[in-house]
A and B are shown apart, each in its own frame.
Chain A
């Protein structure tokens, strides 16, 4: 369950990065639709956070330690909103680049989460 969600969130983050990267390529800022996309990815990260905590509460142990696992879950959850607000503050193509970088960072975090959980 958690592995599947990690995969989906990672792929969604990469798609978001491509989409925002495309906006940057066309010299455009992020728009409403991009923010809706970010909301979808954020929702996935939130579901992942909840399911991860539930899995811990039920007694499952991540391969590389609970502290690191929770830290990465929180980081993955905070990643997209932080990048989103920065792209709101920078209404040029560079805001789109920042949002795209946020998607890439989240994808990397998902790969690390997969390793930490030991899927």
Chain B
């Protein structure tokens, strides 16, 4: 047990030191970043497969809702890619997209509550993502926090 714990501490150190050793890219998937990639990956699969199925089988029923789900899927996909890729430019792109995602969730969430008749069927972002245990609204907040922390952690990476 003791030796395992020691290894853990060492691993953490190497993970933290690694990006400083390499010149170019800030590593965005170490530590909490890995959890973010997992959750974003799940949302990509969820949003994309759902909107593909809905658009393929009955686009006319709720075109606005299905298009918004597809858009959400694309945004999630791009953020996942930037997180995995790493680097300062990717980090900035991810920041912008997460902010856009947050605006999208809040807008669509409010929209579905104020004007339910515009949405005959639910989107990924309906009711602030309640159908996805509020992950859609919590995820951009934690991602924004993490991406900002990544800059202060590795200031020389830019």
Residues of A participating in the B interface, judged by any CB pair closer than 8 Å: 27-29, 31, 67-68, 71, 75, 82-83, 86-87, 89-95, 97-98, 101-102, 105, 108
Q: Which residues of B contact A86 (CB under 8 A)?
A: 34, 37-38
Interface of B is mostly: helix
When chains A and B are docked, how far (Å) is the Cα of A34 from the Cα of B42?
Answer: 21
Q: Which residues of A contact B130 (CB under 8 A)?
A: none
Interchain CB contact under 8 A, A28 and B8? yes
Interchain CB contact under 8 A, A28 and B38? no
Residues of B participating in the A interface, judged by any CB pair closer than 8 Å: 4-5, 7-8, 11-12, 15, 29-35, 37-39, 41-42, 45, 49, 53, 133
Q: Which residues of A contact B5 (CB under 8 A)?
A: 28
Count how many pairs of residues, one from A and one from B, have CB atoms less than 8 Å apart in the complex: 53
Tell me which of B34, B41, B133 has the highest count of chain A C-beta atoms within 10 A of its own C-beta. Answer: B34
When chains A and B are docked, how far (Å) is the Cα of A68 from the Cα of B38?
Answer: 22
Instruction: Give 4 new A-B contacts, CB below 8 A, not counting A91-B11, A108-B133.
Output: A83-B38, A92-B8, A94-B34, A95-B34
Interchain CB contact under 8 A, B12 and A67? no
Q: Which residues of A contact B38 (CB under 8 A)?
A: 82-83, 86, 98, 101-102
Interchain CB contact under 8 A, A82 and B41? yes
- The 3 A-B residue pairs whose C-beta atoms are closest, nearest first, are A90-B34, A91-B11, A94-B31
